[in-house]
Structure 1
Amino acid sequence: MTYVLITGASAGIGEVFARTLAAQKQNLILVARREDRLVTLAAELSEQHDVKVEVLAADLATADGTEKVSSTVAASGWKLNGLINNAGFGDRGAFTELSLERQLSMIQVNVTSLVSLTWRLIPNLQESTGAFIINVASTAAFQAGPKMAIYYATKAFVLSLSEALHEELKDAGVAVSALCPGATESEFAAEAHMTDTRLFKAGTMPAEAVVRKALARRRTAIVIPGLRNLLMVWSGKFSPRLITRRLAGWLQA
């Protein structure tokens, strides 16, 4: 029996990953802070799809969060054939106006915990045939983001790391992919205080469509779901960075 471990599984894209994979008869390990929501989701998916769903409450904003996850996986003897690093958050505001604590917590969840958990679980993944890692980045990874400086920087890190690991691990049988969605229907916008921005007012992509694309192309280094998002990323490659960063700042207004 093998499992796919999903972080940030209690809502948004993470929850949709869980629902989609359960419908494909994939056993799951759901990780998030909100244990009550995980328990409810796990019970629903187990009953509907006759799969094994484990719940692991952990706070990845803390230094020992990934240690708790990896040690529980090892102690329980759970074999992994997939890891989806979905946990993450953003916040809108000037670098000097957002609290330092908030921004360091963002780095901890979006970068440090992702790196730690991936490093700890790769040996487990290498024991399965056809194993994969999906790291949820963002179209924000492709340029600097005034008014969301730390969030954009963390996603640039995730993209760069994922591309490197894609090359390093492919001969070891583990596919690594960076999922780079744009504005998506989820709790992210409300948590990041972005519901009134030009970016989200222009429309969002259903989380279900994002997840379908991610899973279908899980062995591709970079996955950008949605034609609009793809065109924005590619147009940015031919524009001066001065233009792309100012455009990103404009979209946050």
Structure 2
Amino acid sequence: MSTENAANLAVVTGASTGIGFALAREFVERGFDVIAAAEEPEIHNAAADLSGSGRHVTAVQVDLATADGVESLARAVQEEGQAADAVALNAGVGVNGRFDQTSLEDQLNLVDLNVRSTVHLARLLLPAMVARGEGRVLITSSIAAVAPGPYHSTYAASKAFVHSFAEGIREELKETGVTVTSLMPGPTETEFFARAEMEDTKIGQMDDKDDPASVARDGVEALIAGRASVVAGSFTNRVQAEVGTHLPDALANPLLARMTKPQD
């Protein structure tokens, strides 16, 4: 994949703010045209902002937590008349609180967006990339994927799912010319904590969260290089990912709960 070719096309979900917007900007700065998708109306402002660089940026406002939304986005990609060169499956939400006390609707919406839409959209877009024999896929997981997630249990489980999914289909596609990379950020300065109602948690109140632009840069560089995964952002994230991978869950659980438990 040549990043100098003006015809290169990237698809980015969850692109209105945060890491998704930063990913879209990173692609634009590398000469890609971009299809930027999100549920919020702000996606149109984001696309207009990114279009100022001279690249063609198309806003697609869809609810990817629904099958109709996923299929609408896939049709928008097909209407471009070419397979995407890069796809960043980044859309996601969190839900904070004790599981039995949180909204079932919110939890199931999280599963639909974080998990179901990732699988659905990948299945719709990958065949064209495989048929062409070239392409790059980036799936936003999290360092939360490698350890238990008390007080955001469904979110952590969803990120474990997409990380495992990325690793699995990467192996399946290794002879096709299409690579799959798992992006694993740590706490990042985005609207995620407010939307997940985690502003009153220790992790939500951290002052040294990562810059989404730095996370996006790490992610796109890993995608272009065809790497299996990247723990993005600070060195602390890499340490935490290693600890989470190797520390027994019985020890990790109470340590992580202190960071994610809502304050009384």
TM-score w.r.t. length of structure 2: 0.90
Structure 2 residue matching 1:230: 3-state secondary structure: helix
**What corresponds to 1:252 in structure 2?**
260
* Mapped pair 1:210 → 2:215: yes
**What corresponds to 1:88 in structure 2?**
92
- What is the number of equivalent residue pairs in this alignment? 251
The one of 167, 179, 182 equivalent to 2:171 is 167
**What corresponds to 1:40 in structure 2?**
45
The one of 112, 123, 126 equivalent to 2:127 is 123
- Output the amino acid matched with 2:248: P
Q: After superposition, give the CA deviation of every residue in 1:205-228 in whole Å (9 maximum; x if it has no partner).
A: 111111111111122112102210
| Sequence identity (%) | 33
**What corresponds to 2:229 in structure 1?**
222
Q: After superposition, give the CA deviation of every residue in 1:137-156 in whole Å (9 maximum; x if it has no partner).
A: 11110111111111111011
Partner Cα separation in structure 2 for residue 129 and residue 210 of structure 1: 28
**What corresponds to 2:118 in structure 1?**
114
Query: Deviation above 6 Å: which 4+ runs of structure 1?
Result: none
Pairs within 5 Å for 1:50-199: 50-128=54-132, 130-199=134-203
- Output the amino acid matched with 1:82: A
* Mapped pair 1:233 → 2:241: yes
**What corresponds to 1:24 in structure 2?**
30
- Output the amino acid matched with 1:42: A
**What corresponds to 2:4 in structure 1?**
none
Q: Is the Cα contact below 8 Å between 1:11 and 1:187 reproduced in 2?
A: yes
Partner Cα separation in structure 1 for residue 145 and residue 115 of structure 2: 13
Q: After superposition, give the CA deviation of every residue in 1:162-194 in whole Å (9 maximum; x if it has no partner).
A: 111111112111110111111001110111111
Alignment RMSD: 1.5
Q: Is the Cα contact below 8 Å between 2:201 and 2:260 reproduced in 1?
A: yes
Which 10-residue stretch deviates more, 129-138 or 146-155?
129-138
Which 10-residue stretch deviates more, 66-75 or 26-35?
66-75
Return closer, same or farther for 1:127/1:52 CA change in 2, 3 Å cut-off: farther
Q: Is the Cα contact below 8 Å between 1:81 and 1:129 reproduced in 2?
A: no
Structure 2 residue matching 1:172: 3-state secondary structure: coil
Q: By how many angstroms is 1:45 displaced?
A: 2.1
- Output the amino acid matched with 1:107: V
Partner Cα separation in structure 2 for residue 81 and residue 58 of structure 1: 21
Q: Which runs of 5+ in 1 are unaligned?
A: none
Q: After superposition, give the CA deviation of every residue in 1:52-106 in whole Å (9 maximum; x if it has no partner).
A: 1112111012232111111232244243101101100001111111111110000
Partner Cα separation in structure 2 for residue 149 and residue 30 of structure 1: 29
Partner Cα separation in structure 1 for residue 30 and residue 131 of structure 2: 21
Structure 1 residue matching 2:84: 3-state secondary structure: strand
Return closer, same or farther for 1:131/1:177 CA change in 2, 3 Å cut-off: same
Structure 2 residue matching 1:197: 3-state secondary structure: coil
Q: Which runs of 5+ in 2 are unaligned?
A: 1-6
Partner Cα separation in structure 1 for residue 143 and residue 242 of structure 2: 10
Partner Cα separation in structure 2 for residue 161 and residue 207 of structure 1: 23
Structure 1 residue matching 2:203: 3-state secondary structure: helix
Partner Cα separation in structure 2 for residue 139 and residue 167 of structure 1: 21
